[in-house]
Homo-oligomer: A and B are copies of this chain.
Amino acid sequence: MSMLIVGTVATDDIVTPFASVAGVLGGSAVYAATAGSLYIPVQIVGVIGEDFPQKYKDFLRQKQFDLQGLEIQEGKTFHWAGKYHFDMNTRDTLATELNVLATFNPTLPVAYRETPFVFLANVDPTIQLRTLDQMKQPSLTVLDTMNYWIETQHDELTAVMRRSDLVMINDEELRQYTGEHSLLKAARQMLALGPRALIVKKGEHGAALVTKEGYYYAPGYPLEDVVDPTGAGDSFAGGFLGYIARQRKITARELHRALIHGSVIASFTVEDFSVDRLKSVTFPDVQKRYQEFASFTHFERLD
């Protein structure tokens, strides 16, 4: 049993009000895989250029990710640069150099095609579609996206949504996509497209899981310091789907627990740049913080 992740593998330059780094390992697939591998083996579908640093290749191997689906192509690796504002919730994109990603058209290794759990991490919707086209009816397909694709590839994105079981989107993007201010109404609109569940991400405030039947909430973990929010959503998704894949059950109960696991994982991610904190997290670390979440929210049970 494993999970397939298609997304970006990148080098990032990141500026925050308190520190900055350049050329660090990043990308939606990298964050999601590092998180998901805490729960279950991961297969990566993505592309890197010839310039991808050896130390990062070594990291991906040392993590024992299945890299058969990671293509190396002539040219440069996808590069992103961003700068966070003082509130650490909003950021400006300083550079997006697609490089080898611009022409990436994945061909899945045969061994990947029957993988039951699929995460379509944040990447061009046409790449997400191309990946889905090669899969044999996964039991759970999770889609993540961003405002850029809502603006530039609305129809392709909608096509992927219709074929996904669960969509992850932040509150502003949900309002942007639907044109509806009420998050609950907006969520219902998106569920009407086909997905069985929606995860509405609210940054430091947490995340809500909305289904046709229910509503579940996970608050953000109260951190003393946020070093770098990059990858919080990608690792949230990796933890969420990793937990589900490990349980092999898709009940309301497990979806809600997965929501908490996602929040726990994201809370580790933002404690350092890149995957520097996340890569050293152990499963007992996750379980400890999971129990803390219970103490934050279970108001019947205190004392």
- Alpha-carbon distance A251/B301, docked complex (angstroms): 12
Interface bin, chain A: 35 or more
Expressed in whole angstroms, the minimum distance between the Cβ of A240 and any Cβ of chain B is 12
Contact across chains for B299 and A87 when beta carbons are under 8 A apart: no
Residues of B contacting A87 in the complex (Cβ-Cβ under 8 angstroms): 181
Q: Which of A115-123, A151-159, A209-217, A277-285 contacts B (4 or more CB under 8 A)?
A: A209-217
Q: How far is the CA of A204 from the CA of B217 in the complex (A)?
A: 13
Interface residues of A in 280-303 (CB under 8 A from B): 293-300, 302-303
Contact A182 B224 (CB under 8 A): yes
**Residue in contact with A260 in the complex, picked from B183, B185, B299, CB distance below 8 Å:** B299
Name the interface residues of A145-182: CB closer than 8 Å to any CB of B. Answer: 181-182
CB distance from A225 to the nearest CB of B (A): 6
Copies in the complex: 2
Within the complex, what minimum Cβ distance (angstroms) separates A211 from chain B?
11
Residue of B nearest to A218 (CB): B299
Give the chain B neighbours of A183 by CB distance below 8 A.
204, 222
Q: Find out whether the CB atom of B181 lies under 8 angstroms from the CB atom of A299.
A: no
Report the nearest B residue to A204, measured CB to CB. Answer: B183
* Beta-carbon nearest neighbor of A256 in chain B: B299
Binding site for B on A (CB under 8 A): 17, 86-88, 181-185, 202, 204-206, 208, 210, 214-219, 222-226, 251-253, 256-257, 259-260, 293-300, 302-303
Task: List 7 additional A-B contacts (Cβ < 8 Å) besides A87-B181, A205-B205, A206-B217.
Answer: A184-B222, A184-B224, A217-B296, A251-B302, A252-B303, A253-B299, A297-B299
- Can you list 21 A-B pairs with a CB-CB distance of less than 8 A? A88-B181, A184-B223, A185-B224, A205-B206, A206-B217, A208-B219, A214-B295, A215-B222, A216-B295, A216-B299, A217-B219, A217-B296, A218-B299, A219-B219, A252-B302, A253-B303, A293-B299, A294-B300, A297-B297, A297-B299, A298-B298
